[in-house]
Amino acid sequence: MWQWLSRAAVSDETADWLAECFSWAMQNFDVKRFRESTPLVLPTNDFFPKKVESIDGMAQYVFGQVVGYGGLQGWPWRLVPPSQFVAMQPPLLGLNPAVRGDDDVQTLVPASGPLELLMTYTPDQVAKPQDLVATMGHGVAQHMLWQSQLTPPGGQEYFLQAAEVLAVFMGFGVMVANSAYSFRGSCAKCYNPRANRLASLSESECVYALALFCYLQNIDRRFVAKHVKKYLKPALKSAYRQIERHPGTQHLQALAA
């Protein structure tokens, strides 16, 4: 009768994979930065204080904040409008995602192709900043994973999902969770699918990954709950409880300590 009070946030298999992803991330994508200088980026003026009037200007500003919080501001990024973006395989630049930050970035001349990493944005998302931040964080994480040339847990077919976990690992979990699902609402005229983020993880998986980040960073659940959508608060609580019981949590805490 009361089993619902302790139901799991995600399946055991999913919890195992997400724990494996965090272990893999800490071993390959700068655990020192994770434990010493990775903030939980929040949708507040403290993290995004500047107001920009133009769509392109706002996109450029948000992208600069994202790569700054991610410790990748020294990489050769170029954010372009959709009309100037051509989807192609990015060049391998010899960048080292195992060490993030201004002082440790080294760029090698690629064998071919331009010495830059192109990114674009969806103009409609500028009106939904959390979707924009999460989309950019996911895109940056994909570049980081590609430059590493590592195989993510589960294999290359999990590339996008692992990159989304990396975005959470870099501190963007609140926005990733809040933008994983967008309710259509009752008014079709108010619904703009172009403004919504295309998530690679389910909403419950995003919430669990956020909880895992916060648990390893010793961030109180009640503080995190203030910044997630109201209906996600019970799932966040369940995720914390499941993480406490998970057999791999002690190993992750040892890596993060």
pLDDT tens-digit readout, 237-246 = 999 999 999 9
Q: Is the pLDDT of residue 124 over 60?
A: yes
Confidence of residue 78 (pLDDT cuts 50, 70, 90): very high
Other C-beta atoms closer than 10 Å to the C-beta of 43 total: 17
Q: Is the pLDDT of residue 4 over 50?
A: no
> Residue 77: enclosing H or E segment and its boundaries?
strand 77-79
Q: What percent of the chain has pLDDT over 70?
A: 87
From residue 26, how far is each of 35, 57, 68, 214 by CA, in Å?
A: 9, 34, 19, 14
Give pLDDT tens digits for 154-193: 999 999 999 999 999 999 999 999 999 865 554 555 555 5
Which stretches of the chain are DSSP H helices?
Answer: 12-28, 31-37, 55-69, 129-148, 159-167, 173-178, 203-216, 221-225, 233-245, 249-256
User: CB-based contacts of 226: which residues, under 8 Å, 6+ apart?
Assistant: none
Q: What is the mean pLDDT of the chain?
A: 89
pTM over 0.85: yes
**Residue 227, phi-psi category: left (phi > 0), alpha (psi -120 to 50), beta (remainder):** alpha
Q: What percent of the chain has pLDDT over 90?
A: 77
pLDDT of 104: 47
Question: How far, in Å, CA of 172 to CA of 227, rounded?
Answer: 12
pLDDT of 102: 59
Q: Is the pLDDT of residue 8 over 90?
A: no
